[in-house]
Amino acid sequence: MLRLENISKSFDGVPVLKDISLEIEKGEIVSILGPSGSGKTTLLNLILGLTDVDGGRIVYDGNDLTKTPMEERGFNIVFQDYALFPHLNAYKNITYGLRNKPDISSKEEVEELIDLLGLREHLDKRIDQLSGGQKQRVALARTMVMKPKILLLDEPLSALDGVIKESIKDRIKTIAKEYNLTTIIVTHDPEEALTLSDRVLIVNEGAISQYGRPEEIISRPGNSFVKEFILNQLEIKRNNIFSLFDGPLVSEPAWQAG
């Protein structure tokens, strides 16, 4: 279990995160949802260890990681811009992290991920020959072969649309379930957050606005920001969303307690 205790962070004296406390269970998919500039990426970077907190604690399975360097935390991220190596082909990007740590994933495990993510026919292509969705899948595979304890994704779907977006969404869910992998996804899109995750953390101006299961947030928005932020953007898709909540997504969460 990941626990954040009273996390705060400022840049140049300006508070960007204020007193963030929450728990995320093993295997749970949690979305961090909020408008642009609300501190989502900063929160992800603090969990990853790329950025230091000013105050508060980050605790994973009872161990205080607040001062632990990024490499030793064992978490891994897919950055918003994917940060792939342009001079290497897709396969070499996927296996890059294994060159010094070949024991982390076997050849069979790498092959399984390649098939799970539908990348088989793209392995020899250079990064600039790939579409947005293909790049996203390569970035996901590259992170997954390292078997992170927590998978962090920054706006994984924002550059994608339509069928591709749905397919990546399904793949993220499949991977999270198959590996019982704690997954934290940053997004500014309420529909994405509410359909993809077990729980949604809504942030506004660096503070937690509401943290709950999708159906709770829809049926009992905690404040006017949640109401307006969610409802404004969901108005058109509302019927669609409610019908999704009658399906197995809500009654069969991707995580199991313990």
Ligand X SMILES: Nc1ncnc2c1ncn2[C@@H]1O[C@H](COP(=O)(O)OP(=O)(O)O)[C@@H](O)[C@H]1O
Under the rule (CB under 5 A), what is the footprint of Mg ion? 41
Q: Which is nearer to ligand X, 54 or 215 (CB)?
A: 54
Residue 142: name its binding partner from ligand X, Mg ion, none (Cβ under 5 to 8 Å by kind).
none
Minimum CB–partner distance for residue 41 and Mg ion (Å): 3
Q: What residue 36 binds from Mg ion, ligand X, none (CB within 5 to 8 A, per partner kind)?
A: ligand X
Minimum CB separation from Mg ion for residue 154, in Å? Answer: 6
Name the amino acid, one letter, at 105.
S
Rounded to whole angstroms, the Cα distance separating 126 from 80 reads 19
Q: Cβ 40 to Mg ion, closest distance in Å?
A: 5
Binding site for ligand X (CB under 6 A): 11-12, 16, 34, 36-42
Question: What whole-number distance in Å separates Cα of residue 8 and Cα of residue 184?
Answer: 19
Minimum distance between the CB of residue 80 and ligand X, rounded to whole angstroms?
8
**Nearest-10 crossing angle of helices 107-116, 132-144:** 150
Q: Which does 165 bind (CB under 5 to 8 A by kind): Mg ion, ligand X, none?
A: none
- Going edge to edge, which strands form the sheet with 182-187? 75-78, 150-154, 182-187, 29-33, 199-204, 207-212
- Contacted by 34, from Mg ion, ligand X, none: CB < 5 to 8 Å by type: ligand X
Taking the least distance from each CB to Mg ion, the nearer of 44 and 127 is 44
> For ligand X, which is the closer residue by CB, 34 or 221?
34
Side by side, the strands of the sheet bearing 14-24 are 14-24, 2-11, 55-60, 63-64
**Smaller CB separation from Mg ion, 79 or 211:** 79
Please identify the residue of the shown chain whose CB is closest to the bound Mg ion: 41
Cβ atoms of 47 and 75 closer than 8 Å: yes
Select 42 or 182, whichever has its Cβ closest to ligand X.
Answer: 42
**Binding partner at 148 among ligand X, Mg ion, none, C-beta below 5 to 8 Å by kind:** none
Select the binding partner of residue 38 from ligand X, Mg ion, none (C-beta < 5 to 8 A, by kind). ligand X
Closest distance of CB 16 from Mg ion, Å? 11
Residue 136 interface partner, choices ligand X, Mg ion, none, CB cut-off 5-8 Å depending on type: none
Shortest distance, position 131 Cβ to Mg ion, whole Å: 22
CB of 34 to Mg ion, least distance (A): 9
